[in-house]
Amino acid sequence: MIKAIIFDLGRVIVDVNDTDAVKALIRYTKKDQASVHFALFYSKHYENFTLGRILPAEFYAAVKKHRPKVEQLIRKLKQKKDKLKVNSNHYSLILLSDTNKLHFEFILKNYPILKEFNDVVVSYKHNCKKPSKKIFLIALKKAKSLAGAGPDECLYLDDLIENIEDARQLGITAMQYTKFHDLVAAFKRFGINRGI
Ligand SMILES: [Mg+2]
């Protein structure tokens, strides 16, 4: 039985609008569109790029769009009564994200949905990122203490297949997020559809 749900952030809870992001960034750099696109989405130096303070808050507003349906579902999960569980009346929700301090503080301030999470695991605080074993183990430890959940009782959602595969190697029940409809169907399969 699933007791805890671990959510990735980017492209699951907030959407990344590549075109708007690149357009917004071009205003603050002399680089061409292709270079900006590469730097933003493929370069290992993305974090340094971000910390170079060429990205004001309005940049993020252009980059990130919230996903209302996923937000609604998160709220329902949090409120949902599970009669089979004695000591809990909701699913424990954990956020697991590769992010930097600047970015995450902006997200926290602008996306109230994150207040629904019982705990967060963010890469910059633990000096590791997905798909390293270490960051998944930190999330699993939190799931254990919050919900008494073992790895298979944690449902992990991420848009990247490599993260899903590594999570599965640790025994986590993991599912690649592609579209909302599939997520709802998966929840039914995992028995967490009631009331959703
Ligand atoms: Mg993601």
**Distance from residue 112's CA to the centre of ligand 1 (Å):** 19
**Distance from residue 12's CA to the centre of ligand 1 (Å):** 6
**Distance from residue 161's CA to the centre of ligand 1 (Å):** 10
Domain ranges, ordered by start, for the chain = 4-15+66-189, 16-64
Backbone angles phi, psi at 122, to 5 degrees: -120, 140
Tell me whether the omega of the peptide bond preceding residue 56 falls within 30 degrees of 0, making it cis: no
For 35-91, write each residue's pLDDT tens digit.
776 666 654 445 544 555 445 554 555 456 667 889 888 988 887 544 444 444 578
For 129-179, write each residue's pLDDT tens digit.
999 999 999 999 999 999 999 999 999 999 999 999 999 999 999 999 998
Identity of residue 19: T
Helix, strand, coil percent content, the chain, rounded in steps of 5: 50, 15, 35
> What is 4-15+66-189's CATH topology?
Rossmann fold (3.40.50)
- Whether this prediction's pTM lies above 0.85 is answered by no
